[in-house]
Structure 1
Amino acid sequence: MKEHSGTAPVLTGHRLTLRALRQEDAKALLPCWSYPEAAVWLGIKPLASKAEAEELIRLLLVMEREEESLRWSITLPSGEVIGSCGYNSWQLAGAFRGEVGFELSPAFWGRGYMREALTLALGYGFEEMGLNRIEAQCHPANLRSARLLASLGFRREGTLREYRHTPSGYQDVDLYTLLRREWQEL
């Protein structure tokens, strides 16, 4: 089992590449974080400016340096950034589990890009980080993400009632999980 080094490695798929998040990605990621129909699923107030996106990236990079999270920008072969995904957190000692999060620019929904990106991120989590269990939290009404998680082999374990406090109040989330042995059987 390898430990995470604190830097997001480059992961290459058939149609996209996951690479380290960069400050200059703010303009491209703003649509992911400002689109009201997507931001509600993230449990955040939609971002209103490139400066807010830059601040969020700054925070994510600090968390990565401190090995608290790991985030990739999802890029097309042209270099265009279309979203991000990664580990919001992980715990190796005693648990060997992590929590994955993801968002994609609405212009790219429904084309299989996030499935490919998460396949790369999950492989890295199980094979390189040594995770045994990967979790994802999903708003109960976010059917698109629920279908994506199910297609990747995740199982819904239940609802965490009023788990998050958001700008619109307390929010339930459904907990989805995928175990290493289930991943290996896919």
Structure 2
Amino acid sequence: MEEHSRIAPGLTGRRLRLRAMRWEDADALLRCWSHPESAYWLGIRPLTSREDAEELIRLLLEMERGEESLRWSIELSGGEVIGSCGYNNWQLQGAFRGEVGCELSPAFRGRGYMREALALALCYGFEEMGLNRVEAQCHPANLRSGRLLASLGFRREGTLREYRHTPSGFQDVDLYALLRREWRDYITLEREGS
């Protein structure tokens, strides 16, 4: 197996960078993916071992090589990996649409890191991939994620009833979306505000 992804470009923000996922990220990502709250919002069983994390990294890298998804490790400026984010899927022909997903280790929540990481991913999606629409799904009770998405300009479009099958049964998800023209307006406002 390859050590690094072939596709995920490095993206640098003010306090963090998005970089290709690596095998050595397994322990850090396990801390994120094994947390019961993270697993619940993601609709998965909490991972329980480094081998579980390595298997998920292998799957994500395999999907990336097949251009089915694009996932970055979120790394602080000191080199610590605190989560991941990226495009779960996209469709460039005809729809020009993608779907983002993210998770952050609980110890780093509430500090604006995920907002910064998703802003980098959104810039890449709209400016480099040529997306016109980016969607995100979150559990209706995940108020923190809903606020995060709204802070980036996403609009809640509705609830997809029993949309996701999880270890605890069928689960509703709220669908959020952001259009390229809305992102341009958002970026303009952000720049004028700083």
SS at match of 1:174: strand
Q: Distance in 1 between matches of 2:38 and 2:57?
A: 18
Q: How far apart are residue 6 of structure 1 and its match?
A: 5.6
Given that residues 13 and 117 in structure 1 are in contact (C-alpha distance below 8 angstroms), is that contact kept between their aligned partners in structure 2?
yes
Q: Indicate the structure whose relative CO is greater, using CA pairs within 8 Å and at least 6 residues apart.
A: 1
Aligned 1:28-107 pairs, distance under 5 A: 28-107=28-107
Residue 144 (1) aligns with residue 144 (2): yes
Residue 117 (1) aligns with residue 117 (2): yes
SS at match of 1:128: helix
Cα offsets for 1:49-80 (capped at 9, x unmatched): 11100000000000000000000000011111
Counterpart residue number, 1:183: 183
Cα offsets for 1:14-35 (capped at 9, x unmatched): 0000000111101000111111
Query: Displaced runs of 4+ in structure 1, greater than 3 A?
Result: none
Given that residues 11 and 18 in structure 1 are in contact (C-alpha distance below 8 angstroms), is that contact kept between their aligned partners in structure 2?
yes
What's the % identity of the aligned pairs? 81
**Partner AA of 2:31 in structure 1:** P
Q: Distance in 2 between matches of 1:24 and 1:167?
A: 28
Over the aligned positions, Cα root-mean-square deviation in angstroms equals: 1.0
SS at match of 2:73: strand
Cα offsets for 1:120-154 (capped at 9, x unmatched): 00000000000000000000000000000000000
SS at match of 1:53: helix
Given that residues 153 and 178 in structure 1 are in contact (C-alpha distance below 8 angstroms), is that contact kept between their aligned partners in structure 2?
yes
* Structure 2 residues not aligned, in runs of 5+: 187-194
Q: Distance in 2 between matches of 1:132 and 1:8?
A: 20
Instruction: State the TM-score, normalized to the length of structure 2.
Output: 0.92
